[in-house]
Structure 1
Amino acid sequence: MSGRLIGGRYQLATILGQGGMGQVWTAYDQRLDRRVAVKLLRPDRVTGPIGSEAAGELRRRFVRECRVTAQVDHPGLVTVHDAGSDGDDLFLVMQYVEGADLSDHLAEHDPYPWQWSVAVAAQLCAVLCAVHAVPIVHRDLKPRNVMVRPDGTVTVLDLGVASVLDTDTTRLTHTGSPIGSPAYMAPEQAMGGAVGPYTDLYALGVLLHELLSGEVPFAGTTALGVLHRHLYEPPVPVRRIRPDIPEPLEALVLRLLAKDPQHRPSGAQEVYEHLAPLLPSPGTGLSVGPLDPTRPFLRPHAPWPDRAAAPPPPPAPPAPAARPDVAAAVDDVKKLLGEGRITQAVDILGSILPVAAEQHGEDSAVVRILRKQYAATLMDDGQYRRALPELRRLADDRAAEAGPADAQTLQFRYDAAQCLEQLGEPAAALAEYRAVLPYYENHRGTGGDPARSFEIRNRIAHLLLALGDHVTARVQLQALLYDAERAYGPHHPLPVELRRRLDRQVEVRGG
């Protein structure tokens, strides 16, 4: 495969690694004459034999997620250059990162200095703060996905890849197994529940435990055995293995590894605040050699070892802002959306809404249509935090006009619930889903919408699992399975998926 040209531009050179989902290669960008890293993914290896329609959907989702993750601007994240498909492969082109992955770095330094562990975790918190603000959940944070660079900074890889392959896993995979690494998988992720920032915090706890103790907190001979231990066994406190570790650091690791997401820290920012007092300061006498992750805190922004720093080019002067023409801008948005250029369409819609409100009035039909398109496009672009207030406003306005049972009102509220779920607010999302569910049920005398009702009940079960209420979630799934079989028959994809999930929960519980 060496020498193969990907996307008509990237020539593969040397394989860096491979696993069940694909391969990572060094490659050369022939257009810009630079070294890059190319990750190749084979959808059929993850999903099994699938039809062209499902494969096309997976490819579209892959490109969309790569586009969303490329919006995150943080020095601790690998830069995404390109993404697409080439033959049977999906490809992701990334910045080539010099250094060693954290797994190899740990193996080369035994025992790993606890100050290094704190420095790595603090840098990862900074990355997670930026990622979760989008919001994106990494879902597969582990040492192999973290690089330690020559200046000691860490870089996180594979952001967005797991989210593509783990979405609706039980429908898309032929095994029903969740994508991810069992050793680093949070209990709610293992049970097939909704994931959020709290899921990444658990993985961070596993990673930190491994750096401090030399081993993951839960190991086993089978994936199901490992997942069972995540669910039911307490982790061994790290000070029992290394008494030199500060007590506050041990306490933080135990909080990160809480079974119930609500008992973990509130976010990566809080974790960082607990780590900050333990970070090294200049004059501590620690090593600052190559691949030392304490270096960014001992010598902030210092040049890389043995590398001269080149001054950045002066910034270009900003272009003068022009007052947009609403009609012309709407035409531009339609064209951009047709070409899949969603991020640019979002920016235009955001700029023309205030102008349209000034010209036509805030309650005019023009502004409402634009606001509806704006909210939908924000959601399609993965900008759930910006979409949520727009959807709530749309829902309130529509409810005041047409009532709470109106189909459009309910759609806005349903979309808002989806945003809350994506933003890692499971309790709020659960409340919103439960509030709209009765309007889609048949017993209200409106005929209902069985498909949407089943979908919402499925999401409710996912969120109950994320909140640690496994018993109620299982009852909900069993009731949903009964109703879905009556409505669709036992061989419909939904009952098949539900049976698979219920069976998997039994397997994980049994270990």
Structure 2
Amino acid sequence: MSAGRVVGGRYELAALLGQGGMGQVWTAYDQRLDRRVAVKLLRPDLVAGASAADETRRRFVRECRVTAQVDHPGLVTVHDAGSDGDDLYLVMQHVEGADLADHLAEHEPYPWPWAVAVAAQLCAALSAVHAVPIVHRDLKPRNVMVRPDGTVTVLDLGVASVLDHDTTRLTRTGSPIGSPAYMAPEQAMGGAVGPSTDLYALGVLLHELLSGNVPFAGSTALGVLHRHLYEPPLPVRQVRPEVPEALEALVLRLLAKDPAHRPGSAQEVYEALAPLLPVRGTPVGHPLDPTRPFLRPHAPWPDRAATPPPVHAQPPAPQWAPDPGSAPAPAQPDVAGAVDEAKRLLGEGRITQAVDILGAILPAAAERHGEGSPVVRILRKQYAATLMDDGQYRRALPELRRLAEERAAEAGPADPQALAFRHDAALCLEQLGDGPAALAEYRAVLPYFESPYGTGDPARAAEIRRRVDQLLRLTAIAGRS
């Protein structure tokens, strides 16, 4: 499988995010609806032998149906599923943000109110999952995304075990599904699993957020599972004394060896966490602050306009990295190829994909050729124009201002290209609702377009006068109201 392949007649694979267990996860583009998606593919090499192939296909079909059953904002939405040649595919919502493992690494020691907020949101999602009933069976930081507004999303219900008769037959393979560091004792023993299995994993995750380490680690999977079965966890207050006693007690209950000694449900865990959640009025800090949904519910997302969204925004549940020793040297940025590809995509109406291609290559081109090089300027110009075509005026504005400043510094303020950039920047300001700033910019460039000399452009001058008049009328109406 390779980037550029179109799956199911419409989903173009863009970048491999990871692989393991059941297959691969890719970022992709839905050519029909011009949007980013995540595509999970069944790895062909796993389908070996008729009996193994049949069970794997049944499990994959079950995965698609199970995941599509659950509708909750804390879970990834399923868009489509099907087969493509020898491969099976599942198309899911593309989620921006940082996975919880990276979030923890970037903010260690992790603030305990953040850990409480993450766990509370996970409880809400798990309650919906367990009501189906489904057991996730592989809850871990790599399967949790913290989005830019602080909301938490659970990824990969693909190894879920549906608690019905058919699923019981399908999962009798003799090997437990899950990650050893987060695996409950009953799961490690190949016994019956239930909602309390996920609550144990939640306890491991909470312990890791609070202490910086999973409670049970080891050099081998077998050694880790043995510790889950027989060793007590370290109380988190021994390494983080500021953690509330009630939170430490809850973590220890979640990590009970006997499922009967754990909290009875995700709802019960949520109720235990609720008194520890931050109250309204507490300042919100980092843009990916998981307390934000509790402090400012339904608030707009933080402004991310100045930076293009990364193509690899959604890490998958199964992480994978190539062997560093065999990794090829990074390829030089093909600016001309990127521009040509973006133009082709624009011609097909696939603006989102064109924006991502240009936004991804721009930093690499600037590093190689220099910010002020003609190559980078051409690329930035195409990027800004594409953002405007896509209606992303807030992201286009800083690019246009930069282009205008650089061009004016070289060729003077009356340079036609510098004026064109300033005109487009004024358009962005107008579309963003900043009438006074747009009006000031239009008035600043209008004399140049009205000039009888080289910079004159009667048609553009007439268009600007019309926009100025319209903005003045709107300002007058607003002043009377």
Residue 3 of structure 1: aligned partner: 4
Shift of 1:86: 2.6
1:243 aligns with 2:261: no
Residue 219 of structure 2: aligned partner: 221
1:19 aligns with 2:17: no
Residue 48 of structure 2: aligned partner: 49
1:100 aligns with 2:88: no
Provide the C-alpha distance between the structure 1 equivalents of 2:271 and 2:257, rounded to a whole number of angstroms.
Answer: 22
Unpaired segments ≥5 residues, structure 2: 306-481
State how 1:51-450 maps to structure 2 within 5 Å.
Answer: 51=50, 53-163=51-161, 172=173, 176-285=174-283, 287-306=284-303
Shift of 1:63: 1.7
- The alignment's TM-score, normalised by the length of structure 2, stands at 0.60
Provide the C-alpha distance between the structure 2 equivalents of 1:67 and 1:169, rounded to a whole number of angstroms.
Answer: 14
Shift of 1:298: 0.5
Provide the C-alpha distance between the structure 2 equivalents of 1:185 and 1:125, rounded to a whole number of angstroms.
Answer: 17
Q: Which amino acid aligns with 1:272?
A: Y
Q: Which amino acid aligns with 2:303?
A: D
Q: Which amino acid aligns with 1:49?
A: A
Provide the C-alpha distance between the structure 1 equivalents of 2:290 and 2:264, rounded to a whole number of angstroms.
Answer: 25
Provide the C-alpha distance between the structure 2 equivalents of 1:171 and 1:281, rounded to a whole number of angstroms.
Answer: 46
SS of alignment partner, residue 127 of structure 1: helix
Q: Which amino acid aligns with 2:228?
A: H
- The alignment's TM-score, normalised by the length of structure 1, stands at 0.56
**Which has the higher mean CA deviation after the structures are superposed, 185-194 or 28-37?**
28-37
Answer whether contact 1:62 1:161 (CA < 8 A) is retained: no
Shift of 1:170: 7.8
SS of alignment partner, residue 92 of structure 2: strand
Provide the C-alpha distance between the structure 2 equivalents of 1:178 and 1:261, rounded to a whole number of angstroms.
Answer: 17
Answer whether contact 1:256 1:265 (CA < 8 A) is retained: yes
Q: Which amino acid aligns with 2:189?
A: M
SS of alignment partner, residue 161 of structure 1: coil
Residue 396 of structure 2: aligned partner: none
SS of alignment partner, residue 15 of structure 1: strand
Shift of 1:56: 2.9
Q: Which amino acid aligns with 1:182?
A: P
Answer whether contact 1:212 1:238 (CA < 8 A) is retained: yes
Q: Deviations over 1:27-79 (max 9, x none)?
A: 0111212110111222643xx7331x542343233223322321211100010
Structure 1 vs Structure 2: percent identity of aligned residues?
Answer: 85
Answer whether contact 2:63 2:157 (CA < 8 A) is retained: no
Provide the C-alpha distance between the structure 1 equivalents of 2:234 and 2:223, rounded to a whole number of angstroms.
Answer: 17
Q: CA RMSD in A?
A: 2.1
Provide the C-alpha distance between the structure 1 equivalents of 2:172 and 2:302, rounded to a whole number of angstroms.
Answer: 49
Provide the C-alpha distance between the structure 2 equivalents of 1:169 and 1:104, rounded to a whole number of angstroms.
Answer: 34
Q: Which amino acid aligns with 1:298?
A: L
Answer whether contact 2:27 2:36 (CA < 8 A) is retained: yes
Q: Which amino acid aligns with 2:24?
A: Q
Answer whether contact 1:136 1:160 (CA < 8 A) is retained: no
SS of alignment partner, residue 69 of structure 2: coil
Shift of 1:84: 2.4
Provide the C-alpha distance between the structure 1 equivalents of 2:115 and 2:87, rounded to a whole number of angstroms.
Answer: 36
Provide the C-alpha distance between the structure 2 equivalents of 1:31 and 1:56, rounded to a whole number of angstroms.
Answer: 31
Answer whether contact 1:218 1:230 (CA < 8 A) is retained: yes
Q: Deviations over 1:270-308 (max 9, x none)?
A: 0000000000012233x3331110000010111111279
Q: Which amino acid aligns with 2:123?
A: C
Provide the C-alpha distance between the structure 2 equivalents of 1:226 and 1:162, rounded to a whole number of angstroms.
Answer: 22
- Max radius of gyration: which structure? 2
Shift of 1:113: 0.3
